[in-house]
Amino acid sequence: MEFLQENMIWVALAFVSGGMLIWPMVSGGGVANLTPAQATLLMNREDALVLDVRETGEWNTGHITGARHITLGQLDKRLSELDKFKDKPIIVVCASGNRSSSACGQLKKHGFGKVFSLGGGVSSWRDANLPLTTKS
């Protein structure tokens, strides 16, 4: 007890840092973020579906070839379009990685098991000098 009293700041810091590590798992997060290289491997080796959840204007400026476009706001209404991909890996993409994490959570709640987020989104894809297309 004396140790705890003398080291209260260190004990509190340990609890806070531990909580920060556990929070993504407890809050339904814990989504695996892929680098562009990891995403490319998953696409090539396991025929992963790329799901782009950006708004239409963003999509039109360039997207990953072969990606399916469903905006985050429409995802709940259009989940049935993805049912045939429940057993395949799905890589969710947005501009920076924030919306894709949210979309991954929605997909997991509806039984999609292999869901990943492209860390850094399309920006990281572009920074890795990987191709984007404007064709639908």
Enumerate the active-site residues: 94
Determine the Cα–Cα distance for residues 82 and 71; give it in Å rounded to an integer: 13
Q: Which helix (H) or strand (E) holds 34?
A: strand 32-34
Determine the Cα–Cα distance for residues 100 and 54; give it in Å rounded to an integer: 9
Alpha carbon of 83 to those of 57, 88, 111, 113: distances in Å?
A: 26, 10, 9, 12
User: Percentage helix, strand, coil, to 5, in the chain?
Assistant: 50, 15, 35
